[in-house]
């Protein structure tokens, strides 16, 4: 495959952009450096055109979960284009932010007020700031991945990798003030005892309990009631991070399906179908604490984000998008499992149906991942060990994808049996965790 222009831009990026990309999850070494196209010229539906004119169907990370309807969705684009033509910002505020706040509170009857940002990480930082302002306390107990800001990376200021197992290991806290040590403590999903241990030691200074509603595991019957009870007993603000899970299972937060009633829910990614928008949704008595702290930014007032979110959410509700995502994702996960068994590959499949993952359970798993990426590209698919379903995926697309997986798994089995996996790679093996790009 011709990828000369893509490789040229990668070389230019190494010289001009620290780390090559703005998002760790989109770095080419996460897939296979030298093979992964990295840059796109055009994206529409599930199709992506790279800089060298190659066209792929995207069965990979779906814009890292942001493009829930599909790329360049015409209804969302029309709404955004109209907003831009009328002026995307001015000295006044866009009225759409009021309509979006009302819609988000309608979707989440426990909530009464909303603040906006333009990315998930900054929205989570805002939510934690509000919790600390509300309680006058400092400590945060958290479960899951919640972004790059100081409050979260502070967990790695101790001797151990506090974020290991919370999706991303090895995140370096350099630049995070040493004074934030012992302000953020991790616990694991379904482990109430770990949360109780944090409370026992730091309960008098516990500002917030932060958690994803669901990612890899289904909650045990006692987990959600237990977390809510601990939050109530300690006076901590319960924050649910819906940035990844939101709008996958239902129109709104996944917590609505799990019996979890938080004080704050944070959304981004899928809410705007790829346009920059984030929302901190919460109870009035908690949210009004934001007025006792300074939380303000010019670009939180632009018009495109709220307009995109309104169009995305309305279409999501009308078409029952979540049901389609679950159906497509379930078919892909079943396909991975059955095809791995067919070809004798030791494979684990996990994750929600609309956000599935697989992993090779053998020593050369990173080489195997790169081989899979490489061979799927040759078959016309952007593919890796994750699949984020989009509304634009059809049953025919899934069938074609799984036929390609069948072929590639057979090839992988062959090179493994012949001991030729490493020499079969045309690029570098995939990397795991956080590493520096040379």
Over residues 84-103, the mean pLDDT reads 98
State the pLDDT at residue 430: 87
Nearest to 26 by CA among 51, 60, 67, 77: 60
The confidence score (pLDDT) of residue 186 equals 94
Res. 204: pLDDT tops 90:
yes
pLDDT computed for residue 433 by the predictor:
64
Average pLDDT over residues 310-333: 98
Query: What's the whole-number mean pLDDT along residues 379-404?
Result: 98
Average pLDDT of span 195-220:
94
Residue 17 to residues 78, 100, 120, 401, Cα–Cα distance (Å)? 32, 35, 22, 34
Domain parsing of the chain, residue ranges: 4-72+320-424, 89-302
Q: How confident is the model at residue 159 (pLDDT cuts 50, 70, 90)?
A: low
Place 279 in a pLDDT band, splitting at 50, 70 and 90. very high
Contacts 24+ apart (CB under 8 A), 394-403: 395/328, 395/331, 397/46, 397/57, 397/59, 398/328, 398/331, 398/332, 398/335, 400/57, 401/57, 401/59, 401/332, 401/335, 402/331, 402/332, 402/335, 402/339
- For 108-126, write each residue's pLDDT tens digit: 999 999 999 999 999 999 9
Residue 162: the pLDDT is 74
Second CATH level (architecture) for the domain 89-302: 3-Layer(aba) Sandwich (3.40)
pLDDT confidence band for 89 (50 / 70 / 90): very high
Q: 4-72+320-424: what fold? A: 3.90.1150
Q: Which residue has the tokens 């030298």?
A: 34
- pLDDT at site 17: 94
Instruction: Return the HEC string of the chain.
Output: CCCHHHHHHHHHHHHHCCCCCCCHHHCHHHCCCCCCCCCEEEEEECEEEECCCCEEEEECCCCCCCCCCCECCHHHHHHHHHHHHCCCCCCCCCCHHHHHHHHHHHHCCCCCEEEEECCHHHHHHHHHHHHHHHHCCCEEEEECCCCCCHHHHHHHCCCCCCCCCCCCCCCCCCCCCHHHCCCEEECCCCCHHHHHHHHHHHHHHEEEEEECCCCCCCCCCCHHHHHHHHHHHHCCEEEEECCCCCCCCCCCCHHHHCCCCCCEEEECHHHHCCCCCEEEEECHHHHHHHHHCCCCCHHHHCCHHHHHHHHHHHHHHHCCHHHHHHHHHHHHHHHHHHHHHHCCCCEEEEEECCEEEEEECCCCHHHHHHHHHHHHHHCCEEECCEEECCCCCCHHHHHHHHHHHHHHHHHHHHHHHCCCCHHHCCCCCCCCCCCCCC
Neighbouring CB atoms inside 10 A of 435's CB total 12
Mean pLDDT throughout 380-409?
Answer: 98
Q: What percent of the chain has pLDDT over 70?
A: 97
pLDDT tops 80 at residue 351: yes
pTM, two decimals, is 0.95
Would you say residue 168 has pLDDT above 80? no
Residue 80: partners with Cβ closer than 8 Å, 6 or more residues away: 275, 304, 307, 308, 311
Average pLDDT over residues 194-201: 97
Q: What percent of the chain has pLDDT over 90?
A: 90
Is there a common fold for 4-72+320-424 and 89-302?
A: no
Residues 6+ positions from 96 with CB-CB distance below 8 Å: 83, 303, 306, 307, 310
Banded pLDDT at 215 (limits 50, 70, 90): confident
288-292, 321-325, 426-430: least confident range:
426-430
> Is the sign of the CA dihedral 350, 227, 119, 316 positive or negative?
positive
pLDDT, position 173: 86
Range in 52-61, 211-220, 330-339 the model is least confident about: 211-220
pLDDT of residue 112: 98
In whole angstroms, give the CA distance from residue 269 to residue 285: 26
Mean pLDDT of the chain: 95
- What are the backbone angles phi and psi of residue 139, rounded to the nearest 5°? -80, 140
Nearest Cα to 146, choosing from 180, 187, 111? 187
> What is the arithmetic mean of pLDDT over 12-32?
92
Mean pLDDT of 33-48: 96
Per-residue pLDDT tens over the stretch 244-262: 999 999 999 999 999 999 9
């Amino acid at each position: 495959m011709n990828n000369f222009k893509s490789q040229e831009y990668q070389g230019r990026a190494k010289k001009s952009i620290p780390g090559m990309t703005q998002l760790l999850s989109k770095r080419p070494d996460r897939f296979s450096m030298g093979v992964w196209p990295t840059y796109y010229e055009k994206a529409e539906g599930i199709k992506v055109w790279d800089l060298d004119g190659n066209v792929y169907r995207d069965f990979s990370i779906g814009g890292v979960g942001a493009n829930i309807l599909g790329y360049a969705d015409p209804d969302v684009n029309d709404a955004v284009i109209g907003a831009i033509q009328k002026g995307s910002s001015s000295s006044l505020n866009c009225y759409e932010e009021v309509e979006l706040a009302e819609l988000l509170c309608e979707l989440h009857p426990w909530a009464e007020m909303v603040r906006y940002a333009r990315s998930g990480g900054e929205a989570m930082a805002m939510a934690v700031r509000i919790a600390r302002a509300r309680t006058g306390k400092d400590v945060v107990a958290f479960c899951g991945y919640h972004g790059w800001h100081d409050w979260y990376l502070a967990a790695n200021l101790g001797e151990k990798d506090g974020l290991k197992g919370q999706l991303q290991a090895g995140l370096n806290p350099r630049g995070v003030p040493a004074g934030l040590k012992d302000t953020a403590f991790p616990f694991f999903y379904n482990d109430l005892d770990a949360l109780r241990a944090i409370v026992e030691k730091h309960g008098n200074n516990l500002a917030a309990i932060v958690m994803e509603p669901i990612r890899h595991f289904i909650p045990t019957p006692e987990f959600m009631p237990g977390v809510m009870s601990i939050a109530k007993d300690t006076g901590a603000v319960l924050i649910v991070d819906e940035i990844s899970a939101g709008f996958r299972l239902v129109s709104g937060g996944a917590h609505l399906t799990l019996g979890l009633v938080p004080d704050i829910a944070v959304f981004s990614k899928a809410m705007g179908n790829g346009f920059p928008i984030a929302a901190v949704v919460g109870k009035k008595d908690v949210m009004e604490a934001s007025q006792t702290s300074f939380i303000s930014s010019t670009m939180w007032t632009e018009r495109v984000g709220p307009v995109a979110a309104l169009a995305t959410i309305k279409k999501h509700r009308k078409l029952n998008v979540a049901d389609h995502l679950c159906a497509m994702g379930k078919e892909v996960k079943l396909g991975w499992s059955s095809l791995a068994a067919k070809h004798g590959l030791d494979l684990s499949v996990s994750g929600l149906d609309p956000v599935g993952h697989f992993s090779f359970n053998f020593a050369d798993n990173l080489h195997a991942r790169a081989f899979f990426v490489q061979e799927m590209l040759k078959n016309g698919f952007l593919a890796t060990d994750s699949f984020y379903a989009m509304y634009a995926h059809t049953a025919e697309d899934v069938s074609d994808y799984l036929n390609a997986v069948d072929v590639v798994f057979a090839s992988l089995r062959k090179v493994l049996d012949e001991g030729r996996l490493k020499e079969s790679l045309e690029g570098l093996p995939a990397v795991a965790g956080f590493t520096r790009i040379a």
